Structure 1
Amino acid sequence: MTLIDWIGFIGVFQILLAYFLNVIGKISNTHIAFILLNLVGASMACLASILINYWPFIILEAVWALVSLYALFNYKKNH
């Protein structure tokens, strides 16, 4: 695997980990760990998509990261 593959793999893993932890009830979707896993994961997956120039996932992961960033700002405002 290349460095780009690893960046994408780790990013997607973080997104899936956040989802899994939420589904099994370990963290809520408003928990800081959930928000940060999604933000960092989506940013890494977006970067990997940029590096391979794959626009569908650039758009998907960029929007995912922006929504996560919005959630982070709301979290900080409320805590």
Structure 2
Amino acid sequence: MPLDWASLVGFVGTACIIGAYAYLTLHEAPNPFILHGTNLCGAALLTISLVVHTNWPSLVLEGFWAAIAIVGIAKALAKRKRTE
């Protein structure tokens, strides 16, 4: 079966999430904006794919993944504001 656009978008989202995890693992002091921003982009792209090719458990997982990334970005913004 050939890959359609939604599957390709999902693969890019998967690459983002795997890349963010690798970044977290390989860097001693990862930039939270890069880490959480990449995770958020990955979750958004996977959500687009999952809306087309519905898989409810995975869609719920991506919702939580995005929410955690948003909290991480908010915490990083608050920390940056406190240190300025």
Calculate the TM-score normalised by the size of structure 1: 0.88
The answer as to whether partners of 1:49 and 1:57 remain within 8 angstroms in 2 is yes
Distance 1:38 1:3 in 2: 20
Write the deviation string for residues 8-51 of structure 1: whole angstroms up to 9, x where unpaired.
Answer: 000010000011111112652x5210010001101111221121
The answer as to whether partners of 2:36 and 2:72 remain within 8 angstroms in 1 is yes
The answer as to whether partners of 2:17 and 2:42 remain within 8 angstroms in 1 is yes
Structure 1 stretches lacking a partner, 5+ long: none
Letter in 2 for 1:10: V
Letter in 2 for 1:51: V
Which structure is larger by alpha-carbon Rg, 1 or 2? 2
| Seq. identity, % | 21
Distance 2:9 2:54 in 1: 14
Runs of at least 4 residues off by over 6 Å = none
The answer as to whether partners of 1:43 and 1:65 remain within 8 angstroms in 2 is yes
Structure 2 stretches lacking a partner, 5+ long: none
Calculate the TM-score normalised by the size of structure 2: 0.84
Q: In the TM superposition, what is the alpha-carbon distance from 1:78 to its structure 2 partner?
A: 1.3
